[in-house]
Each structure stands twice: as structure tokens, then as C-alpha cells.
Structure 1
Amino acid sequence: MTMWRGTKPLILASQSRARQALLANAGIAFEAIPAELDERAIQRASGLSAPGQIAALLAREKAVSVSLRRPGQFVVGADQTLALDQRLFSKPAGRAQAAEQLRALAGQSHELYSATAVARDGEILFEDVSIARMTMRPLDGAVIRAYLDAAGEAVTTSVGAYQLEGLGIHLFERIEGDHFTILGLPLLPLLKFLRSQGLLQ
């Protein structure tokens, strides 16, 4: 069943399975086309340091890049940054870096900034940044090793080395924020925009 009213599918400029599942479950006809940008180079060149601004910039860049390849179609770009005080986190490069990130986050509260942007023909039509506050429970070395063993390679696919929709839920004692924001696509403001364009029932 679909709720989509557009003559062409929505384009999601992301390889994220979580984001794709959110759109599919919402009954939106979409096609996933990754932007394939050097995100760290874009971030460095921007000079930005605020996590929300970085997420918003990358979401816009992804949406614009793919929209230029798909004339006339609505393209959704999304990005997520994780900040613990002044430290920004990226996806861990491997198990050792994942363990280091978990040690830093354990027993602390951090913020997830999830940005989304919609572009058509290179023009940004909509953008939003939503925030979730996550409190990780204290974790000792044995717990971190057990989690890394169980989660496997999945820890390298998400910032902070966790996926809340999977085994990562065991790491937390409190979560404040929208579930969609945590999964990396603030869905409610996006749906509102798409309805305003006559693309949803």
C-alpha cells in the first residue's frame, strides 16, 4: 500500500537501511541513490564546528548533488552528527575505534542532531534539524567487549558505534527525543512538507 501521489518516486540520497525502512513503512514510493560525496572534506572546507550546522550542510549537499542527476524529482538528503560536549563523533573505522567511542560515551549524555533537506533541480525547498538526547549507562570493559562481539561489523555503520533499533538499545538508560530523529530521518516534518507539495494523501 502506498500513500505516495507523485508521478515519480521520491529519491532518498542515502544508503542507510534505517532511513529506507522508515520511508517504506510510511508507504512512500522511493528510490535510493547515494550521493557519494566526501563528507569529511566538505565539513573541513566549511569551517563549521556546531554539530547541527554540520548535519544541515551535509544533508543539503547530498540532496542537491543527487537532484542535479534527477531533473524534476524531489530528493531527500539526510545526515546525523553526534556530539558529547565539544567533541564530534564520526562512524568508527573499526572495532578498536568503536570500543574507544563507547568508553567515551559510557555513563554520559550526548546529543544526536538529525538533519533532512529536500531539493529539486539543485534548489533546496525544505530543511529541518531535530535533536535527541541520549544517556548511555555505565559500561565496563567486559560489557563493551560483549556488545562488540554480538554486534559485529554493524558497529562501523553508525556514528557512536550503536544502532538503537538493534543491539545498541542495551547500551542506554534514558532517551529523550523523537524515535525518527534517533534513526536519522526526522520523519514528521518531512511528511508535513511532502503533503504541502501534494505528494502525499
Structure 2
Amino acid sequence: MLILASASPSRRQLLANAGLDFTVELSGVDEDEVKLSLVAERAGPQDVAETLAELKAQRVSKRHPSAMVIGSDSTLACNGRLFDKPPTLAAARQQLLDLRGQTHELCSSVVVARGGARLWHHNERARLTMRPFTESFLDAYLARAGDGITASVGAYHLEGVGAHLFSRIDGDYFTILGLPLLPLLFFLSGHGIGLETSPEKSP
């Protein structure tokens, strides 16, 4: 049994596109409280992502001890500031203005747990440079992108119209979407979870 401990639509879509058979169960971890505590302890962006990913995976795996549970999280840092998912389109607009013309770092972490214990984890970073766009361009982008971008820590969907925001991207595409997919698939295949075990491939 494979469980994704995340509400992220993009992570869910990535696993589905990869042909994995899984269910989704939210962890109930208070991410805002955990982030505040970690930031107070001067934890870096990658440490924040890894800690949250592990907490999510462990919390759900304790409910389903025999299942393999995937937890994942992403953080965005720019000029020493840690950004959160914007709660509204207005907040997303201001966040994108703050990131405009800047290079920011996106840190993603994925953890697999079973029986409440971490079995494996992988961290990746990407660097993204936003164009020095005009506010009229930004308004057009927000009108096209819609409320869905508030589910993204960067307020952009690189797989969609969000690609127009950038002048340069250095890093793994899947990592930017919120899940270092290739190392995860390799790990799962070593534990008998992959295309060869999906219902479509059964005799």
C-alpha cells in the first residue's frame, strides 16, 4: 500500500502521471506552527522542507504501519527571506512583485516512512530567476492563472502559464513542481512498487 501524505494537487498529479497506484491522506501537521518554531531556531530553508516532509510521512505512517507513506514539502527563499503559500490572489500579487527580477531558491524534500519511522529521504534545490516584468503583465498573468496559484509556495505553476514569469531556471523540473520524482521512483522500484506492480500490468 502506497500513501501520499499531501494535499498538493501537483504532487498527486506527478505520482498519477508516473502510473503509481496510491491513496491520499492528509497528515494534520500544523505546518505554520512548525515553520515558526524552526525559523526561531534559525533552521535553513532545506531543513524546514525536510522536517515538514518527515513529520507528514511519519504522522500518516503511524496510522497505517504496513504502508509506505510519502511526505514532501517545498520552501522558497529569496534574499534571506522565507516565503509561504499566499492565502489570496492579492497576497500572491505582492509576493510576485517581491520576487520580480530576483533569483530565488526553491528547496524540495521527499521522505518515505513506514511504521512511523523514516526509511529514506532525498533533498533537491533549484534556482529560478524571474523576469523584470511590468505590473500590467503581472495582472494579466494573475487573471489567466487564477486562484489555483495560491496552492503553490511560489505563486506560480511552471507547468502552465507560470513559465512566462522566468528568464532562467537551474534545477530539476519535478523538484520545482514540488516533488523530486526520479529518485523517489528509483527508491520505490527497489521495494517492489512501480509500473510492474500496478493493476494495469497485472496478468
- For normalisation by structure 2, the TM-score amounts to 0.91
Secondary structure (helix, strand or coil) at the match of 1:161 reads coil
Equivalent position of 2:16 in the other structure: 24
How far 1:102 moved relative to its partner?
0.7
1:101-140 residue CA offsets vs partner (Å, 9 max, x unmatched): 1111111111110100000010000011101111111112
Equivalent runs, 1:154-193 vs 2, <5 Å: 154-193=148-187
How far 1:196 moved relative to its partner?
2.3
Q: Does 1:33 align with 2:25?
A: yes
Change (3 A) 1:133 1:159: same
Equivalent position of 2:96 in the other structure: 102
**Which of 136, 139, 143 does residue 137 from structure 2 map onto?**
143
Q: Which structure 1 residue ranges, 5 or more long, are not aligned?
A: 1-7
Q: Does 1:15 align with 2:7?
A: yes
Q: Which structure 2 residue ranges, 5 or more long, are not aligned?
A: 197-203
**Which of 176, 181, 188 does residue 194 from structure 1 map onto?**
188
* Matched-pair contact (CA < 8 Å) for 1:113–1:131: yes
AA at the equivalent of 1:64: Q
Q: Distance in 2 between matches of 1:22 and 1:84?
A: 26
AA at the equivalent of 1:130: E
* Matched-pair contact (CA < 8 Å) for 1:48–1:54: no
Secondary structure (helix, strand or coil) at the match of 2:26 reads coil
How far 1:48 moved relative to its partner?
4.2
- For normalisation by structure 1, the TM-score amounts to 0.92
Q: What RMSD in Å do the two structures reach over aligned CA positions?
A: 1.2
Equivalent position of 1:45 in the other structure: 37
1:60-90 residue CA offsets vs partner (Å, 9 max, x unmatched): 0000011111121000000000111201110
* Matched-pair contact (CA < 8 Å) for 1:111–1:134: yes
Secondary structure (helix, strand or coil) at the match of 1:155 reads helix
How far 1:152 moved relative to its partner?
1.6
Equivalent runs, 1:64-83 vs 2, <5 Å: 64-83=58-77
State the identity as a percent: 50
In the comparison of the two structures, how many residue pairs are matched? 193
